[in-house]
Structure 1
Amino acid sequence: MAAVLAGCDQSGAGKPAFKAVDITGAEYARELALSDGDGRRRSLAEFKGKVVVVFFGFTQCPDVCPTTMGELAEVKRALGADGARVQGIFVSVDPARDTPEVLKAYVANFGPDMLGLRGTPEETLAAARHFKVYFNKVPGKTDTSYTVDHTAGSYVFDTQGKVRLFTRYGSGAQALADDIRLLLAEAAA
């Protein structure tokens, strides 16, 4: 009987049913200030009014990064006119190879308004720590053939600039689109 009653608990009533992990109120992932491909310093604060999706990766990633960015581009298309209210941000964890030019060209593959950010090695480490993102250079056969292990998930910020969700890699475009629709509806209410 207790199990049946627990299923009737209404404490979550009125809260959106996100598919991603709800991290509303987290004490991390609150700020991000790095340079874009043109060398301009960018921050999360300039995107208030939009839902922002932040993903840490590297341009030579063979699978997780292009899949994640491709899904985000798909989500923006699926949202129609509301897709313009979504900002994708790719943060490089490989600033040695992800030069401003390389990063700018990479994110352009996923849409003209996708933004790539990078920092010095120290800034990159500080940003990753603030977001609780893991990354580690894995040596290859040559100095330039290394890969980078990294956290494979994205952070989603609401239109007020507050971190709300962590989406796990592999959740799919539909789940992200559904969550973004909820956040956009919340902003309109």
Structure 2
Amino acid sequence: MMRAITLAVGVLIAAIVGFMSYDWYRTSNAPGQAFGAPFALVDQNGAPITEQAFRGQPTAIFFGFTHCPEVCPTTLFEMDGWLKSLGSEGEDIRAYFISVDPERDTPEILKNYVGNVSDRITGITGEPDKVAAMAKSFGIYWKKVPLEDGDYTLDHTASVLLLDETGDFFGTIAYGEAQDAALAKLKRLAQS
């Protein structure tokens, strides 16, 4: 009996936390505004890009950096695979790779890096303070970690953010999430 009560309380707490998280995301931006703050950065071709790029179609965005040894290349490869697997179902989904290392990730470097993986994903970078403000407004964690050789790496959020066609938060795909689960989320996003 006590085990059943403990389980019920645990399920209730999980449901409350889930609802509060959803409600926070749902109400954290005004209706008609893109999730996160307005921004003015550049894409991998050096062209200006703003939050308007995240409106008018469903969007998948990932924050990372080109010197990343594992998480970023893996996630880009997976994103490209998911989009290919969706075929025509996912043709309206736009995908972006936003650098949290703009000091090293110039538009040219991003174009080569992303282009080696996918023609469906667009790289975004910009001035360090503008990138930092944009990433912070999206709730992205990142931190420079010095290496013994004087170089550095970055710890960062490893989830793909999903935005609906209005630019509003739709969900996430966690790093290492099963392909079937990721595809199901992207299919729901494409139909939103």
TM range (shorter): 0.7 to 0.9
For 1:176, what is the secondary structure of its paired residue?
helix
Greater relative contact order (Cα < 8 A, sep 6+): 1
Q: CA deviation at 1:48?
A: 3.2
Q: TM-score, normalised by structure 1?
A: 0.79
For 1:103, what is the secondary structure of its paired residue?
helix
Aligned match of 1:51 in 33, 58, 71? 58
Query: What are the superposed Cα offsets for residues 50-75 of structure 1, whole Å, 9 maximum, x if unpaired?
Result: 22111110011111111111111011
Asked whether the 8 Å contact 1:26–1:163 carries over to 2, the reply is no
Instruction: Report the Cα distance in structure 2 between the residues aligned to 1:30 and 1:174, rounded to whole angstroms.
Output: 32
Matched ranges for 1:128-143 at <5 A: 128-143=135-150
Change in CA separation of 1:94 and 1:46 when aligned onto 2, cut-off 3 Å: closer
Identity %: 36
For 2:68, what is the secondary structure of its paired residue?
coil
Aligned match of 2:183 in 148, 155, 177? 177
Letter in 2 for 1:35: V
Query: What are the superposed Cα offsets for residues 119-168 of structure 1, whole Å, 9 maximum, x if unpaired?
Result: 1110111012101111111112334x311111111210112221211222
Aligned length: 173
> 1:9 aligns to what?
none
1:98 and 2:76 matched: no
1:120 and 2:122 matched: no
Asked whether the 8 Å contact 2:60–2:94 carries over to 1, the reply is yes
Query: What are the superposed Cα offsets for residues 81-105 of structure 1, whole Å, 9 maximum, x if unpaired?
Result: 1232111111101111111111111
CA RMSD, aligned part only?
2.7
Instruction: Report the Cα distance in structure 1 between the residues aligned to 2:40 and 2:143, rounded to whole angstroms.
Output: 21
Q: TM-score, normalised by structure 2?
A: 0.78
Letter in 1 for 2:126: G
Letter in 1 for 2:107: P
Letter in 1 for 2:76: M
Name the structure where helix makes up a greater proportion of residues: 2
1:168 and 2:174 matched: yes
Instruction: Report the Cα distance in structure 2 between the residues aligned to 1:61 and 1:146, rounded to whole angstroms.
Output: 10
Matched ranges for 1:1-189 at <5 A: 23-27=25-29, 29=36, 31-143=38-150, 145-186=151-192
Asked whether the 8 Å contact 2:58–2:92 carries over to 1, the reply is yes
Unaligned runs of 5+ in 2: 10-20, 30-34
Instruction: Report the Cα distance in structure 1 between the residues aligned to 2:191 and 2:163, rounded to whole angstroms.
Output: 14
Unaligned runs of 5+ in 1: 7-20
